Amino acid sequence: MIAVCLKWVDHRPEFDEYGAPSSPDARFAGVSAADQAALEWALRCRDAWSGTGSDNLIEVVAITVGPAQADAILNDALVAGVSRAIRVDLPFGTASRVVAACIAPLISHASVVLCGDYSPDRGTGSVPAFLAHELGFAQALGLIDIDLRAPHDTTALRRLDGGRRERLAITSPIVASVEGSTARLRRAPLRSMLGTKRIETMPGLAHIAADNVTTLARPYRPRPRVLAGPVGATTLDRVRAITDASAAVSHGETVVLEPAAAADRILATLGDWGYISVPS
């Protein structure tokens, strides 16, 4: 079984004063480009790994978490060619760890779980990592290409910092997330659009959902640095010390020291910059 996780989100998200996204407007809601790419890769995996004949097709299951309005994205997934669609009935905005805990028991028999690497509302991409933890699967996150040779002989390419790339050997069971630019969802055939599709609805796990406590109280701001006060005998001198633009511009310097002296120099510099407090 191949599972693909889809998130129902607003393509024109609005946020409250604490940075939390509001419930999606059904008129503008759907899935992200990354989730569409994940769905397309799930269908490609099925096509590449299934045997000949319709009886040998690998089952592809689309799953989402959300209210009844989220059925719209599962209908689109069924039209695109997935075998089953499951919606876990939980309110929008449920924490990622709770989403993963509710999804995991339903797809525990999957050999490959595909997700988008981000969503437009927050962009954290944390659900795949939580899901891999819940399932006990390996994880390969932020993939930009997958080489579909065989279920147990597959490689993928992942983006690294500095323009570098990392090639991974994919061994099932695994949770993988893909970037939205990696694939474009196929056009659904007309016969699929005309057929009747059924969406399975599952209740969220009550004991897990009860722990869904929002801990975000305000937007994150980094801790301010502690800087030394300006030096000057008079108020005017201290103002000039703060606003003086004639001071020489400092540049990096290369210093060769013994390890102990180098450590003292680093601590002293961090103290001068206000990052740490250095005892006198």
Residues 138-148 pLDDT 10s: 999 989 998 88
Residue 213 pLDDT: 46
Over residues 222-238, mean pLDDT: 79
* Under 8 Å between Cβ of 32 and 119: yes
Check residues 224 and 74 and name the one with the higher pLDDT.
74
Question: Using one digit for the tens of pLDDT, what is the confidence trace for 105-151?
Answer: 999 999 999 999 888 776 678 899 999 999 999 999 989 998 887 76
How far is residue 109's CA from residue 107's CA, in Å, rounded to a whole number?
5
Contacts of 91 (CB under 8 A, 6+ apart): 66, 67
State yes or no: pLDDT of 250 exceeds 70. no
User: Model-level pTM greater than 0.85?
Assistant: no
**What DSSP string runs through 81-121?**
T-SEEEEEE--TT--HHHHHHHHGGGSTT-SEEEEES--SS
How far is residue 8's CA from residue 190's CA, in Å, rounded to a whole number?
24
* Under 8 Å between Cβ of 125 and 96: no
**Cβ neighbour number for residue 191 with a 10 Å cutoff:** 8
How far is residue 236's CA from residue 257's CA, in Å, rounded to a whole number?
40
Please provide the average confidence, as pLDDT, over all residues in the chain.
Answer: 82
**Which structural domains are found in the chain, ordered by start?**
2-209 (3.40.50.620), 223-280 (no CATH)
State yes or no: pLDDT of 215 exceeds 60. no
Over residues 203-213, mean pLDDT: 57
**Helix-then-strand count for the chain, H and E:** 8, 11
State yes or no: pLDDT of 18 exceeds 70. no
CA 167 to chain centre: 20
State yes or no: pLDDT of 42 exceeds 90. yes
How far is residue 177's CA from residue 29's CA, in Å, rounded to a whole number?
21
What tokens appear for 133 in the block? 């933890």
Question: Using one digit for the tens of pLDDT, what is the confidence trace for 167-197?
Answer: 998 888 899 999 988 999 988 877 777 766 7
Over residues 77-93, mean pLDDT: 88
State yes or no: pLDDT of 2 exceeds 60. yes
Nearest to 61 by CA among 92, 83, 38: 83
pLDDT bracket for residue 19 (50, 70, 90): low
How far is residue 186's CA from residue 181's CA, in Å, rounded to a whole number?
14
pLDDT bracket for residue 27 (50, 70, 90): confident
Check residues 116 and 162 and name the one with the higher pLDDT.
116
